[in-house]
A and B are shown apart, each in its own frame.
Chain A
Amino acid sequence: MSIFSFATNSKIKFLSLRKPAFILSLTLIICSVLIYSFKGLNFGIDFRGGTLIEVETSESENLSNLRSILNNLELGDIQVQEFGSAKNILIRVEQQAGGDQIQQNVVNIVKTALNTSLSSDVNFRRTEVVGPKVSSELIKAGIIAIVVAVFAMLVYIWFRFEWQFSLGAVIALIHDVLLTLGIFSLLQLEFNLSIIAAILTIVGYSMNDTVVVYDRVRENLRKYRKKEIIDLLNISINETLSRTIMTSVTTLLALLSLYIFGGSVIKGFTFAMIWGVLVGTYSSIFIAAPLLNYLKVKRDWSVSSAVESTKNN
């Protein structure tokens, strides 16, 4: 018998937890929206425009000293932080007023200032400058990408299942996306292009999880014509539970390894993914499946799905 044998043959009554789960999720969503409207997101330069410079110094530099050197340059808001180690420093300079032409000056000014006022050798590891035109385009593209992805999922599930499934799955997706935005707002983690990529992957992953459960629900709807929907949903979740856990664990193993060993540059991306896998798994079991109870799924699958069922057996 394997370690995860508890998951096979389990008979957990997930549906009896639906009310607390809905209340929990609703509270978390409201909190996310509230936090978001008060604190907003800590947009990276991809979306806010500005300059990012990563430097490596030969000696450990005093950050507050560095800050005062940079603040004397009068470039507006400048953030200075350690990045991975004491000798790696990340400098962010806000977008300068005056359009795309002006932004490039910042790099020169900061580079000259660091080269002249620091005693240690400075290695410029990364320079990113995003002007106002590109940043506003990236925001637009990011929002469109997420909306299009969610919509595409809606349509796909609608085709493959019924509209009730489609709606349930999309509500779960929106739940996942909102909670991810919420945690980024709460912890004020940098929100950049790669986080959009992470959210889209979360959308894909969470959908993947939901589809596996829904697939089983549909199968059981054909199998048990007379069973109470709540029992039927419970059976379906339990039957797919060990798979859900197995896949989440292997994915999390890989992601954790990436989070710990993958370097500072993709930490934010990996964090979003880990969070997304956790939230996505939770929402498939506790949100997407129980929602079918309320959305009044069609019980009689004998006529319209005759073709489908012969194909599957």
Chain B
Amino acid sequence: MLQFSRSKITLIVATIFMAMLLALPNIFTDERTSNFPPFIPSQKVNLGLDLQGGSHLLLEVDTESIKSEKIDDLSFDLRRMLKKNDFKYGNLKIIDDSIKFKLNNSELAKNVSDEIKKLSQSISQNALSSQSKSNLNVEINNSLVNISLTEDYLKQISISAVNQSIEIVRRRIDELGTREPTIQKQGTTRILIQLPGLDDPERIKSLLGQTAKLTFKLVDQKASYDPSNPTKIPVGSELLPSDSDFNFKYIVKKKVMVGGENLVDAQPGFDPQTNEPVVNFRFDRIGAKKFGKVTKANIGKPFAIILDNKVVSAPVIRDAILGGSGQISGGFSAEEAADLAVLLRAGALPAPLIILEERSVGPDLGADSVFAGKIAALIGFVAVIIFMVLIYRAFGFFADIALILNLVMVLGVLSLLQATLTLPGIAGIILTIGMAVDANVLIFERIKEELRNGSSVINAIDSGYKRALSTILDANITTLIAASILFFMGSGPVKGFSVTLAIGIFTSVFTAFTVTRMMISIYISRKKPKELKL
């Protein structure tokens, strides 16, 4: 066990050298590493959000709201279809995500069912689904009709809504120019967002908290809003609250003039006359045409600009707007106008997002943690080094060198894998400092025993290494089991801890069996000691 072939020594030294090279960038500033020649790695350890500051947000796409929206749309289409075909019916209600109604004439059941099939096909085209299968479950029992959306269809809706949401969230965040955001899907309906170095999470949260559905609708002038008698709303119109005035509401026509999907651009600006912050927007060809047509026909009448079911403003159409561009003013601050422009450019979310979890750390707390971690690591490190030399003398010194290399290797591997170092991860490294010497301690204690049993120095070292091997493996595998469970079950910071712990286990076993052993072998062959002081 004590002989090392030249090739083995080369391999060990090469491994250590590689690890040093990989760990090297961490002691330089970013500025310096960017000037490194290409053959020297420049990747640093990736600091977690808890160390560099930033926000971790777990969002859920509210797919329930899309489902009920779909059912609402369906019931609207259904009523229209029933009316068009002159099918008499009664008692149409939405109960538990399904539509129920009663036909006056049960003999029409076949015709009604055929018409519903046609409806089903028309929605499937919108949702890009497979045409062969129906998206609706239709049950007709005598004259009672029960219609619901199929499971497959609901799943499809929710998958496409989540994917679309991720795309829009990405656009909104990119618009703000946050550096290196991570946006990923988690599970089926969740989105995990990590924004390193962000110091104002409130702005992002408010941007993500709005679906930003923009519509232009005509104000219904047949009725005017009367707070004392709010129930009188004409058919085909609805009551919408004002965005700026809590007490005021508008009565607007349900029919959409133009929607936000027809916008091609939106930019914050100032009104040249009032100097008030506004958002200037531009429609695409179709939007411009629609808008031109409606404005031409309604000169002198007010229309409402509606964002997320709130009326932002309701200007009077002075002239036909044919150019396809316009302006939204609504008593915004400059920042509000800028944010609204971002939202409009990025597009509307298909469903509201709910923040399930937020963890934001300010950059200075992160820096404090890194500093405290470094100090703790340094002091713990020095304490262990001194202790080992006190107990094991020369061998302790060898173990200490192995320990230093061990730390370098952990840093190197972390940089190589671009694994994230978190605050618990630093704790993992410090724990590794304490536990890394364990393999060496096991070996040294074995050697001591062998010496006591009367073995020669060389034999004692040899069999010490041999006998300790299975114990070391067993002992470290148990810790590795715990670390891997942490890795698979844990989230964020805890995951970081398991990663450093696991890397530490591998490097400490590696250094004990190569580095320390090599040093001992060289020491023994040079000094040829008759007895060992352990």
Contacts and interface: CB of A to CB of B under 8 A. Distances in A.
Interface of A: 2-4, 8-9, 54, 56, 100-101, 103-104, 107-108, 111, 123-131, 133-134, 138, 141-142, 144-145, 148-149, 152-153, 156, 160, 193-194, 196-197, 200-201, 203-205, 207-209, 211-212, 215-216, 239-240, 242-243, 246-247, 249-258, 260-263, 265-266, 269-270, 273, 311-312
B483 interface: yes
Contact of A257 (B380, B480, B490): B380
11 contacts: A133-B356, A149-B481, A156-B477, A194-B494, A196-B490, A204-B481, A212-B475, A247-B437, A250-B384, A250-B433, A253-B384
B223 interface: no
Contacts of A263: 368-369, 372-373, 376
A66 B57 CA distance: 28
Contacts of A247: 434-435, 437-438, 441
A101 B479 CA distance: 40
Interface residues of B, number: 77
Given A108-B202, A215-B474, A312-B470, A145 B391 contact: no
A172 to B, nearest CB: 12
A200 B486 contact: yes
Interface string B88-99: 000000000000
B391 A2 contact: yes
A100 B430 contact: no
B240 to A, nearest CB: 21
A152 B477 CA distance: 11
B467 interface: yes
Contacts of B390: 2-3
Contacts of B452: 8-9
B392 A273 contact: no
A109 to B, nearest CB: 12
A207 B360 contact: no
Contact of B479 (A144, A205, A253): A205
B424 interface: yes
B364 A125 contact: yes
Contact of A253 (B209, B358, B369, B383): B383
A215 B441 contact: no
B376 A258 contact: yes
B387 to A, nearest CB: 6
A312 B513 CA distance: 17
A74 B470 CA distance: 61
B207 interface: no
Contacts of B470: 215, 311-312
Interface string B27-54: 0000000000000000000000010000
B32 to A, nearest CB: 28
Contact of A100 (B60, B360, B438): B60
Interface string B431-444: 10111011001100
Contacts of A127: 201, 358-360
Contact of B482 (A9, A203, A266): A203
Nearest to A245: B441
B362 to A, nearest CB: 5
Interface in B412-469: 423-424, 426-427, 430-431, 433-435, 437-438, 441-442, 445, 448-449, 452, 467
By DSSP majority rule, is chain A's interface helix, strand, loop, or mixed? helix
A312 B384 CA distance: 31
Contacts of A138: 491
B373 to A, nearest CB: 6
B476 interface: yes
B494 A126 contact: no
Contacts of B358: 104, 107, 127-129
B442 A261 contact: no
B60 to A, nearest CB: 7
Contacts of B477: 156
Contacts of A133: 60, 356
Nearest to B445: A243
Contacts of B471: 211-212, 215-216
Given A54-B365, A257-B377, 12 more contacts: A125-B364, A128-B359, A129-B358, A141-B490, A144-B489, A193-B490, A209-B475, A250-B384, A254-B431, A261-B372, A261-B376, A263-B369
Interface in B340-378: 354-362, 364-365, 368-369, 372-373, 375-377
Contact of A126 (B362, B427, B441, B482): B362
Contacts of A269: 424, 427
Contacts of A249: 387
B482 A125 contact: no
B368 A193 contact: no
Contacts of A107: 202, 358
B136 interface: no
Contacts of B475: 208-209, 211-212, 215
Contacts of A252: 434
A201 B364 CA distance: 29
B133 interface: no
B485 interface: yes
Contacts of A153: 478, 481-482
Nearest to A216: B471
Contact of A200 (B392, B423, B485): B485
B380 A100 contact: no
B318 interface: no
B379 interface: yes
A104 B39 CA distance: 48
